[in-house]
Amino acid sequence: MKKNVLNLKIILLILVIDTLEAVYEFFFKKGMTVAGEFDFSSFGMAMDYASKVVSNGWIWMGFVIIIIETLMWFAVLAKLDLSVAFPVSSSSYIFVLIISALLLNEPVGINRWIGTALIVVGISIVVKSTSGKHDLI
């Protein structure tokens, strides 16, 4: 495979990576919801809180997924320039927004959806720029 060729295989790999990123963020959020708010009013309270976080299964699942996601990301970076790979991987914002609305029941207003749509437009411009044609700007 040629370097810096954004083909369907790499795009699908990036979509899997971005999905995993959204999933580990979901696990981290669930874990922190269980752990509660930070309370560092004393050293003992900080240690109790750290213990809650470190012993939280949601957090550990997030760490496992982030390791898998990172290893997959290395494969993408071996194939693409960072200036292409990183913007294309912004689809994780879309997945996080959807998970936040559906699984965490967070209110997602019209401004967030518009912002997410603008991210999709930006991803499209970056993908188009890799097709060998001239950049728009």
pLDDT digits (tens, 9 = 90+) for 95-126: 999 999 999 999 999 999 899 889 888 888 87
* CA 23/CA 37 separation, integer angstroms: 21
Q: Is residue 123 part of a domain?
A: yes
Mean pLDDT, all residues of the chain: 86
pLDDT the model gives residue 123: 81
Q: Is residue 23 part of a domain?
A: yes
Q: Is residue 104 part of a domain?
A: yes
Considering its fold, how many domains does the chain have in total?
Answer: 1
Q: For the whole model, what pTM was predicted?
A: 0.80
Q: Is residue 103 part of a domain?
A: yes
Residue 22 contacts by C-beta under 8 Å, 6 or more apart in sequence? 92, 95, 96, 98, 99
What does the angle CA 96 – CA 93 – CA 114 come to, to the nearest 5 degrees? 105
Q: Is residue 52 part of a domain?
A: yes
Q: Is residue 43 part of a domain?
A: yes
> Average pLDDT, stretch 60-73?
96
Q: Is residue 3 part of a domain?
A: no
- Structural domain span for residue 16: 8-129
The pLDDT-based confidence of 128 (bands split at 50, 70, 90) is confident
Q: Is residue 134 part of a domain?
A: no
